[in-house]
């Protein structure tokens, strides 16, 4: 194992993630094997320094931003190790944690991979697999450079989770490097806290629902309990057809009413996403990010992206035309939309969706050149069905009060990412307070302070709001049992209780 000593300004890219939070560290290791991981952990234990795990650093809560000590970067552990088929005929791939979603997709698409190191049995199954049609891995956090380890650690979801659920559902096994011998079912005390209402997307704090799988606790633990060294992922036969539409509206009320209607339809959309007027205006400003698409008409204020998948074109067609009727009923028109029924067009629509957070980041980079204390303010609040109106009222009130509020994202799951862009530090401090008010409203409605991004280092205050002292104490005790020296991902989710006399 090679340990790189960090000095001066070099390797600065490994000190931050997409939240633009920046940290510091003394050492950097690019692990290539589990043996390297073990060496790195022992190195840290010997020196009593902490260790921060990194996948692709696309997280937006500072989870992979180092808090001193050593950075364990896993991007070079990116092999596929084998394949399995179960009795039901489903296929599973065993992967290293650094494998990027985009790399996995390319392999699934081309069905070409160097399997010379695999067992003879796995080689045979691979041959069957590549001859049995196309497969996908459904989780899709829109940022395809994310690593599988990072996605598991945040339990990432995204646009398509509306139909397919979060990453957890597509993980059939995990292998971890642990710092203690504790098992999930031996945890003391048994956690006793109030979870968000059923059906609410939740990535805040540890996973405490009943589960028969002993690895479930590591999913969404943001690397604070163990290091994920291997993942077995479940694949899904690729639906033969996918149709997508971006429908434009003249106002928020119409767009939201349309979404509510669409959710009632019997054929379930695979994605249902929202863009508010400020998101579209920002996209107009960053035209170069989506220039393969035509300009938007000036009266297109809000938009909804929806997607239908399946093997039967007739059913998809019926669903899409029904959606067209609903759009007209909500006051839009079937002319005010972009439609795609082939891969290339769908990619253009997805790129348009992905451009929203990218444009926000670009805006933020300009602001940060003037004052780098300002970091991203992006909410991840998820609420139970029927409560989104309440949240939207708060966002619009803030806009009337003069804030630049951009709301977009997973409206199908009542889960929008609402961003506030500010240009000076004092305003940034007040915006943080505003977010706390929003979070309180979401919690009161039975929602979660994080639907998918996790808590990381920048949302601990919100977690405290959600679960209170008792909840935090419970999380702390879990952390203590898995990682007695608090070596792993220090600062994520919860802080160590100050030791008296320290």
Partner 1 sequence: MNSIVCIKQVPDTTEIRIDPVTNTLIREGVESIINPFDLYAIEEAVRIKEKFGGKVTALSMGPPQVEKALRDAVALGVDEIILLSDRKFAGADSWATSHTLSEAIKKIGEYDLIFFGQQAIDGDTGQVGPGVSAFLELPQVCFVKEIVEISENSVTVKRLMEEGFDVIQAPLPTVLSVVKDLNTPRLPSLRGKRLAKNTQLTVWNADDLGLDEKEIGLNGSPTQVVKIFSPKLDKEVEKLEGLTSEEAAERIYHRLKELGK
Quote the least distance from Cβ 348 to partner 1, whole Å.
Answer: 7
Strands (E), 358-414: 404-410
Task: Count other Cβ atoms within 10 Å, centred on residue 132.
Answer: 13
User: Which residue intervals of 371-405 are DSSP H helices?
Assistant: 388-400
> Which partner, ligand FAD, partner 1, none, binds residue 139 by CB below 5 to 8 Å per kind?
none
Residue 451 interaction partner, one of ligand FAD, partner 1, none, beta carbon < 5-8 Å per kind: none
The window from 110-118, 150-158, 175-183, 485-493 that contacts partner 1 (CB under 8 A) reads 110-118
Asked if 11 touches partner 1 (CB under 8 A), the answer is yes
64 near ligand FAD, rule: CB under 6 A: yes
Of all residues in this chain, which one has the CB nearest to ligand FAD in the complex? 150
Q: Does 133 bind partner 1 (CB under 8 A)?
A: yes
The CB density around residue 59, as the number of other CB atoms within 10 Å, is 29
Please select the residue that binds partner 1; options are 339, 404, 460, 481, rule is CB under 8 A: 339
CB 314, min distance to partner 1, A: 12
Q: How far is CA 413 from CA 373, 388, 396, 407, 474, in A?
A: 32, 10, 20, 14, 28
Is the CB of residue 59 less than 8 Å from the CB of residue 150?
yes
Asked if 362 touches partner 1 (CB under 8 A), the answer is no
Centre a 10 Å sphere on the Cβ of residue 181 and count the other Cβ atoms it contains: 8
Cross-strand bridge partners of residue 72: 29, 53
Q: Does 336 bind partner 1 (CB under 8 A)?
A: yes
Contact string 23-62 vs partner 1 (x = CB under 8 A): -------x--------------------------------
Kindly state the helix (H) or strand (E) to which residue 475 belongs, with its residue range.
helix 460-482
Cβ 67 vs Cβ 491: under 8 Å? yes
CB 340 to partner 1: min, Å: 6
Residue 491 contacts ligand FAD per CB under 6 A: no
Cα distances (Å, whole numbers) of residue 37 to 40, 73, 174, 178, 491: 5, 10, 16, 11, 20
Which residues between 447 and 476 bind ligand FAD (CB under 6 A)?
A: 452-453
Name which of 18 and 36 has its Cβ closer to ligand FAD. Answer: 18
Q: Specify the 3-state DSSP secondary structure of 388.
A: helix
CA angle (304, 62, 156) in 5-degree steps: 45
d(CA 330, CA 256) in angstroms, rounded, equals: 9
Residue 202 partner contact from partner 1, ligand FAD, none using kind-dependent CB cut-offs of 5 to 8 Å: none
For residue 331, the minimal CB distance to partner 1 (Å) is 15
Contacts with ligand FAD by CB under 6 A lie at 17-18, 53-60, 63-64, 74, 97, 141-143, 146-147, 149-151, 153-154, 156-158, 222-223, 227-228, 357-358, 452-453, 489, 492
């Amino acid at each position: 194992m090679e340990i790189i000593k960090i000095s001066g300004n070099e390797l600065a890219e490994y000190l931050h993630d997409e939240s633009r939070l920046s940290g510091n560290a003394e050492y950097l290791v690019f692990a290539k094997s589990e043996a390297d991981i073990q060496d790195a952990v022992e190195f840290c234990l010997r020196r009593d320094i902490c260790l921060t795990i990194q996948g692709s650093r696309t997280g937006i809560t500072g989870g992979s931003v180092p808090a001193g000590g050593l950075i364990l970067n896993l991007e070079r552990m990116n092999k596929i190790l084998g394949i399995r088929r179960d009795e039901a005929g489903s296929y599973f791939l065993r992967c290293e944690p650094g494998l990027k979603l985009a790399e996995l997709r390319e392999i699934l698409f081309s069905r070409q991979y160097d399997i010379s190191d695999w067992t003879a049995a796995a080689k045979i199954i691979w041959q069957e697999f590549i001859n049995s049609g196309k497969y996908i891995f459904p989780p899709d956090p829109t940022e395809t450079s994310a690593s599988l380890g990072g996605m598991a650690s945040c339990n990432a979801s995204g646009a398509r989770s509306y139909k397919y659920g979060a990453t957890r559902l597509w993980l059939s096994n995990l292998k971890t490097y642990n710092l203690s011998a504790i098992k999930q079912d031996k945890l003391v005390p048994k956690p006793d806290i109030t979870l968000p209402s059923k059906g609410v997307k939740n990535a805040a704090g540890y996973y405490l629902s009943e589960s028969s799988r002993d690895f479930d606790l590591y999913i969404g633990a943001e690397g604070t309990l163990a290091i994920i060294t291997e993942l077995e992922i479940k694949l899904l036969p690729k639906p033969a057809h996918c149709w997508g539409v971006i429908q434009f509206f003249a106002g928020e009320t119409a767009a939201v009413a349309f979404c509510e209607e669409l959710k009632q339809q019997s054929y379930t959309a695979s994605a249902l996403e929202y863009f508010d007027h400020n998101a579209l205006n920002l996209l107009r400003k960053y035209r170069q990010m989506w220039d393969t698409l035509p300009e938007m008409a000036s009266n297109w204020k809000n938009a909804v992206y929806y997607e239908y998948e399946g093997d039967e074109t007739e059913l998809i067609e019926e669903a899409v035309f029904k959606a067209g009727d609903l759009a007209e009923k909500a006051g839009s028109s079937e002319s005010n939309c972009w439609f795609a029924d082939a891969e290339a067009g769908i990619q253009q629509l997805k790129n348009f969706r992905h451009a929203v957070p990218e444009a926000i980041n670009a805006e933020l980079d300009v602001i940060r050149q003037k004052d780098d204390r300002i970091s991203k303010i992006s909410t991840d609040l998820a609420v139970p069905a029927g409560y989104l109106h309440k949240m939207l009222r708060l966002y619009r009130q803030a806009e009337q009060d003069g804030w630049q509020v951009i709301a977009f994202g997973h409206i199908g799951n009542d889960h929008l990412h609402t961003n506030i862009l500010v240009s000076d530090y004092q305003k940034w401090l007040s915006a943080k307070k505003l977010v706390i008010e929003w979070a309180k409203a979401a919690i009161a409605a039975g929602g979660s302070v994080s639907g998918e991004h996790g808590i990381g280092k920048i949302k601990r205050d919100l977690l405290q709001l959600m679960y209170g002292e008792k909840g935090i104490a419970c999380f702390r005790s879990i952390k203590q049992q898995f990682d007695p020296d608090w070596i792993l991902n220090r600062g994520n989710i919860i802080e160590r209780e100050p030791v008296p006399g320290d």
